[in-house]
């Protein structure tokens, strides 16, 4: 084979390898706390207004980074589109190793209620939109922020006390480890 072929092969390999996603990889196993990449810690500490050392769950923030900006799609469960309960379902499963129901109405039934000031990363926060009880869910992060699948902006992080959303806030709590059944 000619030098030209090897050179072309080398250039193509370099270009393709440099085009890989810059999204953080989820290391470790579900339920395991792994140290985040420095870039992830920096990005989310700035976003949440906390010290870099407060971003400790690398799996959580790598998961969020992978889904950030994914458009909202009712019933969606992939990068083409996801809804709020689908995001909570996948996050709890892939980050914490917990199997929760797919539906928001069932998700609220498997939490241990908490006061807002007692919320921890991974707790679920529920909202009552359009007069419907528990019609929306997000996942609490820290410092008053949560991640959710917004119907207009896709997967985003917002303040729990955001003037628009907080008036619909209705319940929050920790996921209880319950067995998954056919109806979940």
List the catalytic residue out of 19, 20, 148, 161. 148
Looking up tokens 């997967």 gives 155
Active site residue 136: yes
> Distance between CA 131 and CA 134 in Å, rounded?
9
Q: Are 58 and 78 in contact (CB under 8 A)?
A: no
Active site residue 84: yes
Strand partners, 127: 136, 169
**Residue among 96, 26, 93, 38 nearest 64 (CA):** 26
**Phi, psi dihedrals of residue 5, rounded to the nearest 5°:** -65, -45
* Residue 113: Cβ-neighbour burial (10 angstroms; 0-12, 13-18, 19+): exposed
List the catalytic residue out of 19, 20, 136, 161. 136
Catalytic residues: 84, 136, 148
């Amino acid at each position: 084979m000619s030098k030209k072929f090897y050179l072309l092969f080398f250039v193509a390999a370099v270009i393709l390898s440099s085009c890989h996603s810059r999204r953080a990889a989820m290391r470790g196993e579900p339920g395991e706390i792994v140290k985040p990449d420095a870039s992830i810690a920096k990005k989310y500490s700035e976003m949440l207004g906390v010290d870099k050392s407060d971003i400790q769950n690398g799996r959580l923030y790598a998961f969020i980074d992978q889904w950030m900006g994914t458009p909202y799609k009712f019933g969606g469960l992939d990068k083409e589109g996801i809804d709020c309960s689908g995001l909570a379902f996948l996050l709890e499963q892939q980050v914490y190793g917990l199997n929760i129901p797919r539906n928001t109405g069932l998700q609220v039934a498997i939490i241990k209620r908490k006061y807002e000031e007692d919320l921890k990363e991974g707790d679920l926060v529920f909202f009552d939109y359009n007069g419907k009880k528990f019609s929306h869910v997000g996942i609490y992060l820290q410092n008053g922020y949560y991640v959710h699948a917004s119907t207009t902006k896709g997967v985003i992080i917002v303040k729990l006390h955001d003037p628009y959303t907080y008036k619909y806030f209705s319940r929050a709590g920790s996921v209880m480890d319950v067995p998954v059944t056919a109806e979940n």
